[in-house]
Amino acid sequence: MVSKLIALEAYPNLKDLDFRILRGVELNMRHHQWVPLEDIARFARTDVETASHHLGKLDSWELVRRRSDIGYIGYQLTIHGYDALAIRAFSRKGLIEAISTSQIGVGKEADVYIAITPGGEKVAVKFNRIGRTSFTRIKLYRRDFMDKRHISWLYISRLVAQREHEALQLLSPFARVPRPLGWNRHAIVMEFINGVELADLREGDLSRGEAEEILGKVLDEYLKIVKFGIVHSDMSEFNIVLTEDQSILIIDWPQYLPTAYPESLEYLKRDLTVLLNSFRRRWKVEKDFNEVWNRFYNAWLKSRGG
């Protein structure tokens, strides 16, 4: 399902005061499920009446949500409000100048849009939508937020963006992954990749020989990454992009694990199983799992100083 970037419809109407109000709601959500109107007004340095008027508009644009049956009037930021704040931050940092309302990538846990930098370069902006469909991947982060009292989607989706940006920063100097350009809140800006997901190819698009060559490239790339000390943990034909010149990129890194974590070995095994199975199923590429596994297991051990 393709979703529109709702925040963009409201964006041109937003004034500095509206952004201060959104910030006020955002920051106070650490302490309140529904942020009292008075607190928002105080933060935005305005009177309650003005704040209430602006919040009414923000509500009609779906950037905040209002509740009055809790003994007071309270507001929450919506994912669209969070998007608006991230877009504003990217634009102030000079990372993007315009962003398109239509989506390029439809992920389960993220929406990806094309944007243009002030220099006219095309970039991709990935907004995390954690919690929209499932919490499957979040298990992996439990260790990171165990000590936090409030585990909110705001906090988690921010952590997810930070982690993915971190992975891309570590890997992009030597591996075929998108070059990261910045992150804010739940979103990251990265190099735009003109290509097609392996999952979107039809059987006839590649000969067995071509598929074999592509699998070889993916494995070479992944082996370098494992040697460096990182396991992807969600490797599949959905997260490999094939470009026009037949080179490949591995995308979608928020759930990566350092090889220093012993459980990364299980994820590595699963990644390779998924990969080899899909090439066997779709293009009849036969590759001996044990031979591949030996190479990767040794790389995994070495990366741990073993």
**Could you tell me which stretch among 199-207, 216-224, 232-240, 266-274 binds Mg ion (CB under 5 A)?**
232-240
Q: Residue 40 CB, nearest distance to ligand ATP (Å)?
A: 32
- Coil, strand or helix at 240: strand
State whether residue 298 is helix, strand or coil.
helix
| Paired tokens of 243 | 């470009």
Residue numbers 58-77 binding Mg ion by CB under 5 A: none
Nearer CB in complex with ligand ATP: 124/272: 124
The entry of Mg ion, ligand ATP, none that residue 25 binds, CB within 5 to 8 Å by partner kind: none
Q: Among the candidate windows 61-69, 105-113, 115-123, 183-191, which touches Mg ion by CB under 5 A?
A: 105-113
Partner that binds at residue 192, options Mg ion, ligand ATP, none, CB closer than 5 to 8 Å by kind: ligand ATP
Closest by CA to 204, choosing from 139, 284, 148, 136, is 284
- The conformation of residue 179, written as its DSSP 8-state character, comes to P
d(CA 273, CA 142): 25
Q: Which phi and psi angles does 231 have, rounded to 5°?
A: -115, 135
102, 6 in Cβ contact below 8 A?
A: no
Nearer to ligand ATP, 10 or 110 (CB): 110
Closest distance to ligand ATP from the beta carbon of 266 (Å): 19
Cβ-contact 272, 291 below 8 angstroms: no
Q: How many CB atoms lie within 10 A of CB 129?
A: 19
Taking the least distance from each CB to ligand ATP, the nearer of 46 and 128 is 128
Q: Is 81 buried (19+), middle (13-18) or exposed (0-12) by CB count in 10 A?
A: buried
The secondary structure element, H or E, covering residue 49 is helix 48-60
Nearer residue to ligand ATP within complex by CB, 122 or 208? 122
Residue nearer to Mg ion on the CB measure, 241 or 276: 241
Residues contributing to the site for ligand ATP (CB under 6 A)? 104-105, 107-110, 112, 124, 126, 178, 190-193, 197, 238-239, 251-252
271 binds Mg ion (CB under 5 A): no
- 233 contributes a contact to Mg ion by CB under 5 A: no
Min CB(254)–ligand ATP separation in Å: 7
* Active-site residue, selected from the candidate residues 18, 234, 252, 271: 234
> Which of 252, 255, 278, 300 forms a contact with Mg ion (CB under 5 A)?
252
200 catalytic residue (yes or no): no
CA 103 to CA 123: how far, in whole Å?
13
As a whole number of angstroms, the distance between CA 257 and CA 231 comes to 5
Which tokens in the block code for residue 145?
């937020």
Catalytic annotation, residues:
234
Interacting residues toward Mg ion by CB under 5 A: 107, 238-239, 252
